[in-house]
Amino acid sequence: MNQTRRPIWRIILRVLLVLLVVIGAAGVGGYLYLRNSEWWIAVTLFHNDHRAENFRTMHELFPSRRVAAGTDVWAFAHPVGQLTLPESYRFGGEARSLEGFLTESETTGLLVVRDGAIVHEWYADGYHEESVVTSFSMTKSVVSALVGIAIDDGYIQSVRDSITDYVPELRGSGYDGVSIHDVLTMSSGVAFSEDYESMFSDLMWLPIRVFGFQHPVTDVLAELEREREPGTYNNYISSDSIALGLLVSRATGSTGADYLSRTIWVPAGMEGDAWWNTDYHGNELGHAFLGATLRDYARFGRLYLNEGRRDERQIIPAEWVHASVNPTEPHLQPGENPDSFWTFGYGYQWW
């Protein structure tokens, strides 16, 4: 009896061993595949060990479009001398170390422009003056400028138009019938979780859906529902900015990157090409993922400082610049406001 059983158990053990080897090999292979896939990058996008590198190579890691610069560069004035920044500053009634703040906030670049001249320029973590630095919510303000220019160009008739007149993919969603004005001022009434602390919030899950699952961002927005009456409450949500990015491309019949190139990047004299991440279906992401050099971000800031002008040339309509930073409705006003999620006040994608 024992002699009969031994071969059977040996066969079973060998089969189990083979299965373990196969499962182990599959697991290792799957892990190696995952480590080299968009999935892994999307999941670890904000991880401390990868963040600095990811944020200067986003245009290489995921689909992106080039925002071409021209040859007529808007030069900075020659500074009289480099500005020495103070070692400390006061905040909340306390003296704080500037170096400590830069380290704690993991700042990778700091540029100071005064009277049209660069008076301080500093980089860390391998960044330098030619690094393409990914912007996040600052992209929202660039998209706002494009909306204003598109209105001035006649592609969009009015901020009172419904956004779904131009973006038909959003009909039937929470955005159906919402005015462009209410989307610009983060008052769409659409339900979207902007929780930065939860990996499962709509915002934090968005890169995984768009870059990992490769879902069209139009589908993501089309799923959203309305939670309150538009134009009554200021609630900061990135989906509004994504909708505005779609508005620019649909209204102009151009990609957002091309329209940005010919209306701002070239005429404003940016010195380097920018890159704008898209989903896998060619839609620019209007809430974030525009990459440019620190100096070109400073040039964009100078446009708003100069009421939309580069020297004497009007790039962004002056009235749009003014309206963007001067909200008029009660729910958009700064200070303690029961109809706003925060105290800063909000305009056209500008605090």
CATH of region 58-80+132-332, choose from 3.40.50.300, 3.40.50.1110, 3.40.710.10, 3.30.300.10? 3.40.710.10
Q: CA separation (Å) from 56 to 121, 125, 127, 326? A: 17, 10, 8, 33
The predicted model gives 231-245 an average pLDDT of 98
Q: Check residue 36 and give its pLDDT.
A: 53
Q: Write the pLDDT tens digit of every residue in 11-50.
A: 666 666 766 665 655 554 444 444 555 666 777 777 777 7
Q: Could you give the CA distance from residue 276 to residue 292 in angstroms, rounded to a whole number?
A: 9
For residue 5, pLDDT beyond 90: no
Residue 25: predicted pLDDT: 53
What is the C-alpha separation between 76 and 78, in angstroms, rounded? 6
Averaged confidence pLDDT in the chain: 91
pLDDT tops 60 at residue 329: yes
- The pLDDT score that the predictor gives to residue 78 is 82
How confident is the model over 48-71, as pLDDT tens digits? Answer: 777 888 889 999 999 999 999 999
pTM of the model: 0.88
Structure confidence at residue 42 (pLDDT)? 73
DSSP letter assigned to residue 114: E
The pLDDT of residue 33 is 44
C-alpha 126/C-alpha 64 separation (Å) is 22
The per-residue pLDDT for 348 is 99
What pLDDT does residue 21 have? 61
What are 120's strand-pairing partners? 112
Reported confidence tier of residue 88, pLDDT bands at 50, 70, 90: very high
Among 39-43, 100-104, 241-245, 278-282, the minimum mean pLDDT is found in 39-43
> Of 247, 296, 297, 245, nearest to 270 (Cα)?
296
Cα pseudo-dihedral 290, 294, 296, 302, rounded to 10: 110
Residue partners of 109: CB distance under 8 A and separation at least 6 = 122, 123, 124, 127, 131, 133, 294
**Rounded average pLDDT over 162-176:** 99
Indicate whether 153 pLDDT > 60: yes
Alpha-carbon torsion (219, 133, 251, 185), positive or negative:
positive
* Mean pLDDT, residues 307-312: 97
Would you tell me how many other CB atoms lie within 10 Å of the CB of residue 48? Answer: 8
- Provide the pLDDT for residue 86: 92
Please state the rounded mean pLDDT for residues 119-142. Answer: 95
**Binning pLDDT at 50, 70 and 90, where does residue 231 land?**
very high
Count Cβ atoms within 10 A of the Cβ of residue 135 and give its class: 0-12 exposed, 13-18 middle, 19 or more buried. buried
d(CA 331, CA 163): 21
Provide the pLDDT for residue 165.
99
Q: Which two tokens stand for residue 102?
A: 């830069």
Q: Other CB atoms closer than 10 Å to residue 20's CB: what's the count?
A: 10
At residue 46, the pLDDT reads 73
The confidence score (pLDDT) of residue 15 equals 62
- The arithmetic mean of pLDDT across residues 118-142, rounded, is 95
- Can you tell me the mean pLDDT for 259-286? 98
What per-residue confidence (pLDDT) applies to 31? 45
